Structure 1
Amino acid sequence: MAAAFAPFSFSAEGVADRDRLTVCRAQLSGLLSLLDLEPIANIPLEVRTLSCALPGASLASCFLKCARACRRQSHCRDDGSDDIMLLRPVGGTVTVEQNGRCLRVAAGDAIVISTSRPWEWELRDTERLDCLRVPRLVATSAPTDLVELLPFMISRDTPAFQLLAHYGGALLQGSLPLGTADTQRMAAHHLQDLLSLLLKAENQNGGLSRLDAIKLHIVRNLRHSTLCVEDVAHRHGISARTLQKMFEGEGTTFSEFVLSARLAAALKDMLSDGPQRKISEIAFEAGFGDLSYFNRTFRQRYGMTPSRARGGGAGAVDRLLPVT
């Protein structure tokens, strides 16, 4: 027999100002994976959460108006989390960056990210941020290369997402009878199935459709220095201008996406391979035909040289987030 099920609530209202940031960071890290947290725009940090943990799924509503969070490479290494996380802002916007791509999500829509990669998000004028977190391996409808495609957005009008939001809300309100281990496992399986249904629907209806297939093709062919918009567009049966417009719809360009993907690939290889391989070799394998261009763009993106990034230890790695 499981303990009586009830959502867990937390509030930082009574926490002393000097301890508030530390306490709020620990609370959100427990719900969303290890992260750093800071207030923005001189707005005092006020955090309340409502959450429930099930075997294989967790839900949370985080009530905070404005804040910036950052999950660093060291956090990924320390907790080893490999979950898929669905975030939905209510009453405001959230801007999320992962894999070198930045997306701004309007209230009511959602975004899918991975806890296995560093990310940043910034909340502006939100009422709350809703979160569903499940192990990546249970997302059975997701493509094998899902993590490479993230982040991507989910429209509030998607029927599977509406169903998931209503079911998650009922769980967080404690309105469903989950007093046994079996019913709690069943609820977790329902959340997993709904997320899989959502990913399947997005795969068929746009969220993981042509543009994501194009992105995946690019990631798989980065080593070809001649990778160009005309060839990629021809391979996918569209014009080069249409392809450019698809990237422009996400606030970027084909060239910017390719550069971000190549830099991310080179960074990943440098951190995983250590000094066993030359930086020039890693750069060429990521598709950079000019070493000086690689060094310059790497420094512009990450704020340090490739050699310092590889040899600077954990402190340097933690700072390897794009410079804005």
Structure 2
Amino acid sequence: MMHKSFSTRDLPENHEFGYWRDVIANTYFNLQLSFHDDHQFEGRLDFWDLNTVQLSRLESSGLVYRRLRQHCSAQDRQVLVTVPFKTDVEFSQLGRTTRCTPGQFLLELSEEPYDFGYGQNNAMWVLKVPVSALKARIGEPSRFCARQYDSLQGVGRLFSDYLQLMTRHCEIPHDSNVRALMGTQLIDLLAISLQQHPDALQSSQSAVRDAHLARIEAHVRQHLCDPALSPEHIALACGISLRYLHQLFKDTGQSVSQWIRELRLQSAHESLSRAKAQTSVAQIAYAAGFGDHAQFTHAFRKKFGHAPSDMLRPLRGK
């Protein structure tokens, strides 16, 4: 498993500030840093690539990270999931401000400005997840940001425990498909823990509407490999009218068919990330419900910026 480690420990005096800015930008994305002590700073960051997600352990002196408007981009949308385990962190985004304590976690969106800081030495786990991976499971993740989630009970505890288990496996040289599977399972647990948080669900939709969407999603995921899956089939299977199905998706920013395609593309991407050398692109496409290989390749390249075959090439030594 790819592991990178960065530390300010042996740097010449006053070089640690610029060094840490570069480390943060290269690991996460561009941020403006304000250090609490302009004369002394210590930081260490360990980074592991799990294919689908990236995991890091960050420990540093007090500072504030600011995501400015000029840093934000609709391209390559990412979510950071921060799990502090030493002291509190303060976070503000989208007009919401929260304090996240050890025993909780929070979400930060890359495409919106935010402030994230702590006044004393702190340590935390940080998970970097593509928005597309979360969106395929819970819809638009913006409604879940700047809220604290309990990591000491329920599914939040399961998510936190699994993350801790993964950290103990970081030094084990698992192959690519095992790393991808670990990352996918972690995203699944994160999505479930977010969906079960009452405040987040009630912030933008009713419990009845959410129950319908959960049943729809379960049915679609179970039948994703069926090329004939359609809004009509979904409405019939879930016991609702076609009109109401479309109403449920009205404020999601995409149609039912577009959502199904997004799910299929994300499923194919995750399957490719953990595929074996003998796997073909056609097998992945058909398993995700695409009946046309060329159409799949075009849609995949448009969404992810590269052809599906590019993800298999390293496995074949080409």
- Name the TM-score class by shorter chain: 0.5 to 0.7
Secondary structure (helix, strand or coil) at the match of 2:36 reads coil
Tell me, in whole angstroms, the C-alpha distance in 1 between the residues paired with 2:167 and 2:3. Answer: 6
Q: What do residues 90-147 of structure 1 show as CA deviations (whole Å, max 9, x unaligned)?
A: 2211111111221111122111121111111111334302211111111133233x32
Residue 148 of structure 1, CA deviation: 4.8
Tell me, in whole angstroms, the C-alpha distance in 2 between the residues paired with 1:149 and 1:181. Answer: 30
Distance 1:175-1:30 versus aligned 2 partners, 3 A rule: closer
Residue 212 of structure 1, CA deviation: 4.7
State yes or no: 1:209 paired with 2:201: yes
Q: Which residue of 1 aligns with 2:55?
A: 59
Q: Which residue of 2 aligns with 1:12?
A: 8
Residue 47 of structure 1, CA deviation: 0.6
Contact 1:52 1:172 in 2 (8 A): no
- 1:175-214 → structure 2 map (5 Å cutoff): 177-202=172-197, 206-213=198-205
Q: Which residue of 2 aligns with 1:119?
A: 114
Q: What do residues 169-206 of structure 1 show as CA deviations (whole Å, max 9, x unaligned)?
A: 2333335744312112112211221222222222xxx2
Counterpart AA for 1:123: Y
Contact 2:105 2:148 in 1 (8 A): yes
Tell me, in whole angstroms, the C-alpha distance in 1 between the residues paired with 2:20 and 2:184. Answer: 29
Residue 24 of structure 1, CA deviation: 0.5
Q: Which residue of 2 aligns with 1:74?
A: 70
Residue 31 of structure 1, CA deviation: 2.3
Aligned length: 205
Counterpart AA for 1:163: L
Tell me, in whole angstroms, the C-alpha distance in 1 between the residues paired with 2:39 and 2:87. Answer: 15
Contact 2:62 2:120 in 1 (8 A): yes
TM-score w.r.t. structure 1 length?
A: 0.58
Contact 2:83 2:126 in 1 (8 A): yes
Residue 41 of structure 1, CA deviation: 5.1
Residue 162 of structure 1, CA deviation: 2.0
State yes or no: 1:166 paired with 2:133: no
Secondary structure (helix, strand or coil) at the match of 1:130 reads strand
Q: Which residue of 1 aligns with 2:93?
A: 98
Structure 2: stretches of 5+ with no match in the other structure: 207-318
Distance 1:149-1:160 versus aligned 2 partners, 3 A rule: closer
Structure 1: stretches of 5+ with no match in the other structure: 215-324
Tell me, in whole angstroms, the C-alpha distance in 2 between the residues paired with 1:126 and 1:213. Answer: 38
Tell me, in whole angstroms, the C-alpha distance in 2 between the residues paired with 1:148 and 1:188. Answer: 23
Within the candidate set 74, 79, 86, 2:81 is matched to 86
Contact 2:2 2:49 in 1 (8 A): no
TM-score w.r.t. structure 2 length?
A: 0.59
- 1:278-317 → structure 2 map (5 Å cutoff): none
Secondary structure (helix, strand or coil) at the match of 1:38 reads strand
Residue 43 of structure 1, CA deviation: 7.0
State yes or no: 1:28 paired with 2:24: yes
Tell me, in whole angstroms, the C-alpha distance in 2 between the residues paired with 1:101 and 1:29. Answer: 24
Secondary structure (helix, strand or coil) at the match of 1:95 reads strand
Q: Which residue of 1 aligns with 2:244?
A: none
Distance 1:24-1:132 versus aligned 2 partners, 3 A rule: same
Distance 1:49-1:130 versus aligned 2 partners, 3 A rule: same
Tell me, in whole angstroms, the C-alpha distance in 2 between the residues paired with 1:39 and 1:188. Answer: 32
Tell me, in whole angstroms, the C-alpha distance in 1 between the residues paired with 2:200 and 2:132. Answer: 18
State yes or no: 1:136 paired with 2:131: yes
Q: Which residue of 2 aligns with 1:234?
A: none
Tell me, in whole angstroms, the C-alpha distance in 2 between the residues paired with 1:176 and 1:13. Answer: 22
Tell me, in whole angstroms, the C-alpha distance in 2 between the residues paired with 1:66 and 1:116. Answer: 24
Counterpart AA for 2:201: S
Residue 27 of structure 1, CA deviation: 0.9
Counterpart AA for 2:22: A
- RMSD (CA atoms): 2.3
Tell me, in whole angstroms, the C-alpha distance in 2 between the residues paired with 1:176 and 1:14. Answer: 24
Tell me, in whole angstroms, the C-alpha distance in 1 between the residues paired with 2:97 and 2:54. Answer: 25
Could you tell me the percent identity over the aligned residues?
15
